[in-house]
Every structure is written in structure tokens, then in C-alpha cells.
């Protein structure tokens, strides 16, 4: 083999160095290629108690693990030789446009995770053309969320309190602010046993103890932001000195029934979605009541451990009531491929909770933008590889749910 000394003009194309990124936050976020990567960054930058509140689930956390496993236990069935040069990820949900088949789920105590909180989520949702959902336990006022997303779609999530007047006062504020959809969450008659929070002594607001101070030392940015921004305030109450579990138990009403839901429906002027449906019979009853949609959800695994897996329920529920109302889905979604699988099996829409919060904790508003970008790119790529160019082309034939947990006869 003949050899020669390399010439400078031959080396020049190989010697181009990537321009260094001097912005540390941008460098971190650009390096995150998956939601799991954002989670790793979030864990490094967030004190244990708020991170565990986001990360954790009820009791042994089996419900959450199973929900995530269900998305892994699928087989995609692609078609070939289709023109997928252009892919349309938009659709119509509850009578309005969405640019992507997912929105931001309602999350409580969001400014506890990162000081920008719901305003970062609402702003990112507005930029992406997707709905933002504000929780009853949110830490930003209804009117401020509207100001952050003035022209986009805002949804309000309602827990029915024992104090009905206080609950409906929030509903009235949401309607006056132009929120177009009410998500009534029905799977919280009492708070689930979130053992991480109990072990951490997670309270509202956080208490400075020797343990929290030691834990904060490698995470000074979180504490600086927390202590130098507006004190934590809630959409629904001013302050609470106990643990999160005690707060929830003081508010949630175990007497709520279908009659209460009908009463709420009569008073709400917009679209009404019932969140927390976990069996086919309840889905049928809600369809007969004329609600606009249901969300199959086990509350991110944070209520009943060993609860049904929403993704497994999806095909049967869609067969039973999919022509009568919209079927949405949450719990366990950690990638755009998960979203595509849910849409293929009949979900009109999905909601992301932890995936959004990992981005928020990793980098505030920019982190939420990055989470949405990651999911959007994964959705588009998965659709192209399946051979579909629009969400309407996705069908159950594109997904096979592989069996792991089979009920005994």
C-alpha cells in the first residue's frame, strides 16, 4: 500500500472544531436527547424533597412502574414505501386546534420544583401551540397563567373540596379568565400514601432543617431562586404549614358522586373532561352523561398502587365509548414514541406531567421548551418510520401490545 505525507489541504476539512457553547444552561439542555436525560439534570439541580415529590408515586410505586413498562412492551408495525417527506402532527381536540398530540398536565406545587413554575409551562405551551393545564393545587394564579398564555388554550383542573363554594369560586375564576376546558379529577377521594414525601417530611413551604441545608449545599441555585422570588402562593389557598399529605386530606372530599359531577357540568360553560377513569363501566356512564371527554389515568401512580394500567385499558375503552366522547390518556409517558402508540390505539390526546417537570427542573422555561422539542422530534421521527404522514393515518394495526401481566383465570 502506497503511503504519503498528508497535505494541509487534505487535513483542513477534518480539523474543523465545533464552536464551544459558553452558555452553561444551553449547553446542558442541548446535551439532553431524551426526557430521561432531562431527569438526570433535574436530579442534580433540585433538592431531594421537591425532586422526590415529582418523581415519586404511591406506596411501592408499582402503578407507575407498570404504566411505563406497558409503553416499552409494544411492537411497532411499520409500513414501507410511503411518502413521509412532510408530517403533520396537528389535530383537533375538544373542538380546538392543537399542534401536537400532547399537552401539559396539571401539576401541584409547581413553583416548588423550580421558581418559574407554571408561567414557564404556560409560556412554553403557548409557543408550541399546545394546551396548558393549571391544577387546583397550582402555585400561580389563574389570571397570571392566562396572561402568560393569552391567545393559547388554557385548561383548569378541579379537585372537589369539602367546601363546595370555595371549589366553584375557582371554577368561576377560570371561566371568567377564558379557560376553555375543565378537567374534573375524580380519583382522589383521599390522598394516596406517598411514602417518599413522608420520609422526607415534605411540607409547604419547605422547612429549613439541618438536613435540607446539607442537601442544598450542592444545589445553591435552587435555594437562591426560591428565597429571592415571590413567596410561594397557591391558586386555591395562601399558606399551609403541614405536610403535603395532610393538606390533601384536609381538602379532598370522599363523598363526591356522579350527582356532584352532573351539578358541576351544569355550571361550567366550556368543555368538560373527567380525569382519572380506570374502568370501562365508568367510561360508559360518563358517556351517557354527555361529558366531552375522559382521561384514562391512574394519577401518575400517585393514588392507588397496583391500579389499572391506562395504556392497557385504552383499546377497550375506545371501542366502547370512542364514538361518543374523546378519550385522552396520561401516566407513564416518557417519549414521543409513547405518544404515537397511544394515538394509534385510539387516544385523541395525551398529557405529560413528569416529563414536563423534569424539563422545568433542568432549566426553567428553556428546559420546558427542550422537553417539548424532544417529544415533538420523537413523534415526527416515529411517524415517518411507521410510514404515516398524519395522526389520522395511525391505526391499531401500527401497534401490538405484547403481554407481560396476564390475569389468571
How far apart are alpha carbons 132 and 105 in whole angstroms? 7
C-alpha pair distances (Å), 2 with each of 5, 143: 11, 75
Active site (annotated) includes residue 299: yes
Helix, strand or coil for residue 369?
Answer: helix
Extract the C-alpha cell encoding 134: 393549571
Helix, strand or coil for residue 349?
Answer: strand
The residues facing 132 across adjacent strands are 104, 154
Single out the catalytic residue among 299, 312, 328, 398: 299
How far apart are alpha carbons 230 and 225 in whole angstroms? 9
How far apart are alpha carbons 171 and 96 in whole angstroms? 20
- β pairing state of 74-76 and 399-401: antiparallel
What is the per-residue DSSP string for 123-187? HHHHHHT--EEE-TT-SS-HHHHHHHSSSS-EEEEEPPBS-HHHHHHHHHHHHHTT--EEEEE-S
Where b means 16+ CB within 10 Å and e means fewer, 2-20 reads: eeeeeeeeeeeeeeeeeee
Taking the CA atoms of 46, 50, 54 and 59 in sequence, report the sign of the dihedral they define.
positive
How far apart are alpha carbons 357 and 362 in whole angstroms? 8
350, 102 contact by CB (below 8 A): yes
401, 73 contact by CB (below 8 A): yes
Where b means 16+ CB within 10 Å and e means fewer, 41-79 reads: bbbebbbbbbbbbbbbbbbebebbebbbebbebbeeeee
278, 298 contact by CB (below 8 A): yes
C-alpha pair distances (Å), 20 with each of 27, 156, 199, 374: 9, 42, 42, 22
Write out the catalytic residue numbers.
299
Amino acid at each position: 500500500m502506497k503511503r504519503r505525507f498528508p497535505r494541509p489541504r487534505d487535513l483542513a476539512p477534518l480539523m474543523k472544531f465545533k464552536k464551544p457553547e459558553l452558555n452553561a444552561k444551553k449547553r446542558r439542555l442541548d446535551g439532553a436527547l431524551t426526557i430521561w436525560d432531562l431527569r438526570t439534570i433535574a436530579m442534580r439541580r433540585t433538592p431531594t424533597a421537591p425532586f422526590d415529590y415529582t418523581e415519586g408515586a404511591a406506596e411501592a410505586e408499582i402503578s407507575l412502574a407498570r404504566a411505563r413498562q406497558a409503553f416499552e412492551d409494544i411492537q411497532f408495525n411499520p409500513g414501507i414505501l410511503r411518502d413521509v417527506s412532510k408530517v403533520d402532527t396537528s389535530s383537533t381536540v375538544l373542538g380546538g386546534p392543537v399542534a401536537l398530540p400532547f399537552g401539559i398536565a396539571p401539576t401541584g406545587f409547581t413553583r416548588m420544583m423550580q421558581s418559574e413554575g407554571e408561567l414557564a409551562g404556560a409560556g412554553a405551551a403557548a409557543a408550541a401551540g399546545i394546551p396548558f393545564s393549571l391544577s387546583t393545587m397550582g402555585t400561580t394564579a389563574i389570571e397570571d397563567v392566562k396572561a402568560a398564555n393569552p391567545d393559547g388554550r388554557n385548561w383548569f383542573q378541579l379537585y372537589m373540596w369539602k367546601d363546595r363554594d370555595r371549589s366553584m369560586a375557582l371554577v368561576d375564576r377560570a371561566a371568567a379568565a377564558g379557560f376553555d376546558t375543565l378537567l374534573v379529577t375524580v380519583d382522589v377521594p383521599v390522598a394516596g400514601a406517598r411514602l417518599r414525601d413522608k420520609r422526607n417530611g415534605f411540607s409547604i413551604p419547605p422547612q429549613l432543617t439541618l438536613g435540607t441545608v446539607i442537601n442544598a449545599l450542592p444545589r445553591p441555585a435552587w435555594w437562591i431562586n426560591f428565597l429571592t422570588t415571590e413567596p410561594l402562593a397557591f391558586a386555591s389557598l395562601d399558606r399551609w404549614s403541614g405536610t403535603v399529605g395532610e393538606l390533601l386530606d384536609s381538602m379532598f372530599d370522599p363523598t363526591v358522586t356522579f350527582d356532584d359531577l352532573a351539578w358541576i357540568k351544569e355550571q361550567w360553560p366550556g368543555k368538560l373532561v373527567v380525569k382519572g377513569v380506570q374502568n370501562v363501566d365508568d367510561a360508559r356512564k360518563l358517556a351517557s352523561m354527555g361529558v366531552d371527554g375522559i382521561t384514562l389515568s391512574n394519577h401518575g401512580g400517585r393514588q392507588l398502587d397496583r391500579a389499572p394500567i391506562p395504556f392497557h385499558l385504552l383499546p377497550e375503552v375506545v371501542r366502547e365509548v370512542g364514538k361518543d366522547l374523546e378519550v385522552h390518556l396520561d401516566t407513564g409517558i416518557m417519549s414521543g414514541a409513547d405518544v404515537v402508540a397511544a394515538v394509534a390505539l385510539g387516544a385523541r390526546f395525551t398529557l405529560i406531567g413528569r416529563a414536563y417537570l423534569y424539563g422545568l427542573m433542568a432549566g426553567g422555561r428553556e428546559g420546558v421548551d427542550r422537553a417539548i422539542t424532544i417529544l415533538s422530534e420523537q413523534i415526527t421521527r416515529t411517524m415517518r418510520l411507521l410510514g404515516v404522514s398524519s395522526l389520522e393515518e395511525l391505526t391499531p394495526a401500527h401497534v401490538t401490545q405484547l403481554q407481560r401481566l396476564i390475569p389468571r383465570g
